[in-house]
Chain A
Amino acid sequence: MANLTGLLFAGGLGFMLLSIASGLDFGAPPMLVGSEIQAQAPQQTGAVNIVTSVVLGYRAIDTLGELSILFAAAVSAGLVLGRRHTTAGTQSRGGFILQCGGSLLFPLMMTIGFYIIFHGHLTPGGGFQGGVILAAAFFLPLLARPGAKLHHQSLSLIEGFAGASFILIGLLAMLEGKAFLQPMLIQDTLGQLISAGTLPLLYLAVGLKVGAELASLLSRLIQTEAPQ
């Protein structure tokens, strides 16, 4: 009965929301802010990828907040799971192909990850996407050899310093008399790898942080799987 009510209510709500959303002018958004940003972003941030200039420039503090959320989730997960480390050594190791494949893929994925991070201001992608690939690179060997342990110490070091450097870059701008997180070192060669001032640095920080965060989260989950 409750289930049926729930279903009906959810359906009703969906219908209502739809009827509201259908009042929107799809495909022709007002783009008040959007088009302004499109017009100014190249000059103000030097990034060709306008999404990047939004993520790291115009809405950089959102990104900082989001990094913090990821960090908070990782710390919380550590708090929840970290009390009793169950050794995962009892689990069977992956097969030969999986292990070899994992080891083989590791450098490749690292490369791709960093590539995506460094080209974040030029092409689709960036710190988040690259960071996820980095995390996957670390995670893959873990899947292949469940007994292997990630080095949590260094992961948390990367976590901490990458996050801190994001903020420190922002504070550096303040020291120079600019606003917090204001992009610096604006140059004029749009579209080059070395361009867009501090944005690639920020993206590097983001990428490292996301990678470390996800890797540590995943490894925690895998390591505590065995029930006592």
Chain B
Amino acid sequence: MILTLLDELLLFSGATLLVALFIGRGLAAGWMVTILYAGQLLVLLKMAVLGYEGGSIASSLSLEVMGQAMSWRFDALSWFFALITIGSALLSSWFSCGAWERSYIRQGGNIWLFHTAMALNVFTMLILLASGDLLSLFIGWELVSWAGFLLMALAGGVATKAAMRYITYALAGGMAVFGGLALIHTASGSLQLDAVVSAVEQMGSGKLWLLVILFGGGFGVKMGLMPFHLWQAPAYAETPGPGSAFLGAISSRMGLFAILLVLVKLFGIVNIDSLKVPFTLIDARDLLAWIAVFTIILPTFTAMKQNDARHLLAWHGIGQGGYMLLGIVVADAMGGAGGLLHVFNHATYQAALFMAVTAVIYRTGTSDLNKLGGLVVRMPLSFMVLLIGIIGLAGLPPMNGFVSKWLVYRSLLNQGMPLLFLAAVIGTLGTILSVYKLIHNIFLGQLRVEHEHVNEAPWSMMIPMLLLSAIIFITGLMPGIPLEWVASALRTVGLPVPDYTLGGVESASGSLDMIWVIGVLFAGFGIGAVVFYSAGRSKRVHQLDNYAGGHFLSADVRYQYSDNFYAGLMHLIGGWYRGSFLWLERGITSLVEFLSLGMQGLYRRANAEFYLLTTALFVIAWVVI
């Protein structure tokens, strides 16, 4: 048997898992696993032909169980997602080696479980990405769900609760998909992709609606789409630092991958577009788009309210997922490219941001935004990384987030969807406001007394962060590099491909060339710098070398407050939607509890003979009458 490249990749990944499983307790284990991730990346790069030219590589493994054939293969879409997966795993793992690992063990963490869970996540994600039919897709899907549960739960305490909440949601989603799978199997007689495509052609709109709801809802749970988003932020935020970087970068995107594969590739956007919502003017696609937009807005504004850096970032992760879905649902060349490109971009800056926050936690021991401040003088490099990250997150030039968001906006305007555009812009506004809160409360303002002697993060953590920052900038400067992969992926799922260049995209309605944009931007910075320094009026002083209200400042006086940020805005918008989804969730829980109580009562207060008699009476009566 000749191993294909995909076999090699999966074997490599499995080997990583085994290494983590068996020697994960040693201190060098982290480095070993990191090297193995690098090896996986190399194998993946050997498959780069997928990302540039398309095509597919099959695995030599195929199974047939109970008459269901299963196969695994990689195409451009899988390759694109796998690149992000392994890349973020490599950097997160690298970040975790050395200093962070030691402190984690000191705090009673189980590093073996951590490495194992990470490796398991990567392995299962690769299996999911490689799925060649709906059955293997579902298997991969469930594997990823449970692997994610392991990673989320391993911190114990609050994290376990968050993970329990996650797994309930995830399983509900999984069961929706399972049900959809069964319906598709009935319609097409098989779960092979081409059979499904032809079955969808002949499907009535009622059935297709049901399938779209089941699959959209099921996969949407993983993406954190409204109203299934409640689990995500606490689950990701409570995961140990590098783990949350990894999860935040890629985990939810598995939902997007599945939506791309099933809703876009198999069902086809055109078919979804033809599904009308009864009694209204909108169709299923509009519905998805609006769900995406609400997923952008609400979690983003929730993020603004967070007082914990990790939670703030995690809530943003949900909101950014909305942009990706929005772009894909618009489904023109620009939108599709924007949505997919945003997956890549988001992974880079989200990982960087989580790492920066983890570095801050590593040094200061807290991620509470009300207990930090002024760290820029102590941790300038981390500040740089965080700054680059939030520029990307906010979608401003010159970082890569700008490109993908620009593409999405452009497509919304091109397709004549001004309301969606407006809503997306509101989301971006919220993003900018909240990331300012993040960087301000951590790095700007007054340095706290207890952080007077804090040092910059160690190099083992710094290097991956800097690498990520470089990627954020470079792909912002030359978005053509990832756009090429995105283009191949788009072709795979049958979406139109934009006319891309190294610096951006060409289009009749408006082109973007980041090299020019950044050139102009930096020219502007240069002029500003020249003016600033040539004037020579500035003087560097210690932050306490100052006075306010006629008093000289001392270190024990708080002269700058960061809590209750944006109080007025919060007051304004807070009342609109406060807790409504939480109520829904609690309502369902209470309902289950109530029913459960009733059922227990049924068994407890059992008058068994009476039940028997009643049943016998009814069934016999049914026969006689």
Contact = CB atoms under 8 A, between A and B. Distances in A.
Contacts of B614: 9
10 contacts: A2-B610, A5-B610, A6-B613, A9-B610, A12-B617, A12-B621, A16-B617, A16-B621, A20-B620, A20-B623
Question: What class of interface size applies to chain A in its complex with B?
Answer: 10 to 19
Interface string A12-30: 1100110110000000000
Interface of A: 2, 5-6, 9-10, 12-13, 16-17, 19-20
Interface hub of A6, A9, A16 (most chain B Cβ within 10 A): A16
Interface string B603-625: 00001001001101100110110
B613 A16 contact: no
A6 B608 CA distance: 12
A19 B624 contact: yes
Contacts of B624: 16, 19-20
B285 to A, nearest CB: 55
Contacts of B613: 6, 9-10, 13
A12 B617 CA distance: 7
A13 B610 contact: no
B624 to A, nearest CB: 5
Report whether over half of chain B's contact residues are helix, strand or loop; otherwise say mixed.
helix
A17 B621 CA distance: 9
Contacts of A2: 607, 610
Interface in B575-625: 607, 610, 613-614, 616-617, 620-621, 623-624
Contact of B620 (A5, A10, A17): A17
Contacts of A9: 610, 613-614, 617
A13 B620 contact: yes
Interface in B486-537: none
Contacts of A5: 610
B623 to A, nearest CB: 7
Interface hub of B613, B616, B617, B620 (most chain A Cβ within 10 A): B617
A2 to B, nearest CB: 7
Contacts of A17: 620
A21 to B, nearest CB: 11
Nearest to B621: A16
Contacts of A20: 620, 623-624
Interface residues of B, number: 10
A123 to B, nearest CB: 40
Given A2-B607, A2-B610, A6-B610, A13 B616 contact: yes
A3 to B, nearest CB: 10
A16 B617 CA distance: 8
A9 B620 CA distance: 12
A73 B613 CA distance: 26
A1 B607 CA distance: 14
Nearest to B624: A16
Given A12-B621, A16-B623, A20-B624, 5 more contacts: A2-B610, A5-B610, A9-B613, A16-B621, A16-B624
A19 B624 CA distance: 8
A16 B616 CA distance: 10
A13 B607 contact: no
B620 A16 contact: yes
A7 to B, nearest CB: 10
Nearest to A15: B624
A6 B617 CA distance: 11
A10 B612 CA distance: 11
Contacts of B617: 9, 12-13, 16
Interface hub of A2, A5, A12, A20 (most chain B Cβ within 10 A): A12
B132 to A, nearest CB: 55
A18 to B, nearest CB: 10
Contacts of B610: 2, 5-6, 9
A13 B622 CA distance: 11
B609 to A, nearest CB: 8
Contacts of B616: 13
A10 B617 CA distance: 8
B25 to A, nearest CB: 51
Q: Give 6 closest A-B pairs by Cβ, nearest first.
A: A16-B620, A13-B617, A16-B624, A9-B617, A9-B613, A12-B617
A147 B432 CA distance: 97
Nearest to A17: B620
Nearest to B609: A6
B39 to A, nearest CB: 65
Contacts of A6: 610, 613
Nearest to A11: B617
A141 to B, nearest CB: 39
Contacts of A12: 617, 621
A26 to B, nearest CB: 19
Nearest to A8: B617
B575 to A, nearest CB: 51
A142 B610 CA distance: 40
A12 B623 CA distance: 13
Nearest to B614: A9
A10 B614 CA distance: 8
A216 to B, nearest CB: 31
A25 B613 CA distance: 27
A6 B613 CA distance: 8
A190 B617 CA distance: 50
A189 to B, nearest CB: 51
Nearest to B620: A16
A63 to B, nearest CB: 29
B608 to A, nearest CB: 13
A2 B606 CA distance: 13
Contacts of A16: 617, 620-621, 623-624
Interface string B257-275: 0000000000000000000
B204 to A, nearest CB: 43
A65 B337 CA distance: 75
B521 to A, nearest CB: 83
A121 to B, nearest CB: 40
Interface hub of A2, A9, A20 (most chain B Cβ within 10 A): A9
A172 to B, nearest CB: 44
